[in-house]
Amino acid sequence: MLLRLRRTRRMGGKGAFSSLLLLPAWVFLGVFFFFPLARIFAYAFDSQLLRDPRAWELLRKVFGFTVYQAALSTLLTLLVALPLAFLLARYAFLGKSLWRTIVNIPFLLPVLVVAAGFNAFLGERGWVNLGLMRLLGLAAPPLRFSGTLAAILLAHVFYNTTLLVRILSYSLEHLDPRLEQTARLLGADGPRLFWYVTLPLLWPALLAGSSLVFLFDFTSFGVILLLGGAKFSTLEVEIYVQGVYMLNLPLAAFLSVAQLICTAGIGYLYAFLLRRAAVPLSPRAAVSNLRFPRRWYERLFLSLMLFLLIVLFLLPMLSVPLRSVLRLEAARGERGEVRYGFTLDYYQELFTNRRASIMYVPPLQAMRNSLVFALLTILFSLALGIPAAVALRHASLPARLSDGLFLLPLGVSAVTLGLGFILVFGRAVASPLLVPFAHTLIALPLVIRTLQPALASLPLRLHQAAQVLGASPWRAWWAVEWPILWRAVLTAAMFAFTVSVGEFGATLLIARPEYPTLPLAIYRFLSQPGGLNYGQAMAMTTILMLFTGLGLLLIERLQGGESRF
Q: What is the pLDDT along the chain (565 residues), one digit of tens a residue?
A: 333 434 444 444 555 666 788 888 889 999 999 999 888 888 888 767 777 788 888 888 899 999 999 999 999 999 999 889 888 887 888 888 788 878 877 877 788 888 888 888 888 878 888 788 877 777 778 888 888 898 999 999 998 898 888 888 877 776 766 666 666 666 666 666 666 667 777 777 788 888 888 988 898 888 888 888 767 888 888 888 888 787 788 888 888 888 888 888 887 777 776 666 555 555 444 555 677 778 887 788 888 988 988 888 888 888 888 888 877 654 444 444 555 667 777 887 777 666 544 445 677 788 888 899 999 999 999 999 888 888 877 666 666 666 677 778 877 888 888 888 888 887 666 678 889 999 999 898 888 888 877 777 776 666 667 666 676 666 766 776 777 777 888 888 888 888 888 888 888 888 887 788 888 888 888 887 777 788 888 888 888 888 877 777 776 666 654 444 4
- Interhelix angle 111-122/149-173, nearest 10 degrees: 120
Please indicate whether the domains covering 18-40+344-565 and 52-304 agree at the CATH topology level: yes
CA angle 19, 25, 28 (to 5 degrees): 130
What one-character-per-residue DSSP string does 33-51 give? IIHHHHHHHHHHT-HHHHT
Q: 487: closest CA among 560, 395, 541, 387?
A: 560
426 with 514: CB under 8 angstroms?
no
- Predicted local distance difference test score (pLDDT) of residue 358: 42
Question: CA-to-CA distance for 189 and 210, rounded, in angstroms?
Answer: 27
Q: 515: closest CA among 429, 400, 457?
A: 429
Q: Torsions phi, psi of 20, nearest 5?
A: -65, -40
From the number of C-beta atoms within 10 Å of its C-beta (0-12, 13-18, 19+), residue 538 rates as buried
Q: What residue type is assigned to position 362 of the chain?
A: P
Domain spanning 52-304: which superfamily? MetI-like (1.10.3720.10)
- List 175's β-bridge partners, or say none: 281
Beta strands, E only, 472-529:
none
- Parallel, antiparallel or unpaired: strands 338-342 and 326-332: antiparallel
Task: Collect all residues with Cβ–Cβ distance below 8 Å to 380 and sequence separation of at least 6.
Answer: 436, 437, 440
244 with 509: CB under 8 angstroms?
yes
- Predicted local distance difference test score (pLDDT) of residue 561: 45
Max Cα distance, the chain (Å): 99
CA dihedral 367, 370, 371, 377 (to 10 degrees): 180
pTM value is 0.81
User: Over the Cα atoms of the chain, what is R_g?
Assistant: 26
Enumerate the domain spans of the chain. Answer: 18-40+344-565, 52-304
316 with 126: CB under 8 angstroms?
no
483 with 466: CB under 8 angstroms?
no
- List 291's β-bridge partners, or say none: 91
Domain spanning 18-40+344-565: which superfamily? MetI-like (1.10.3720.10)
43 with 423: CB under 8 angstroms?
yes
Task: Collect all residues with Cβ–Cβ distance below 8 Å to 542 and sequence separation of at least 6.
Answer: 320, 321, 324
Start-to-end Cα distance in the chain = 47
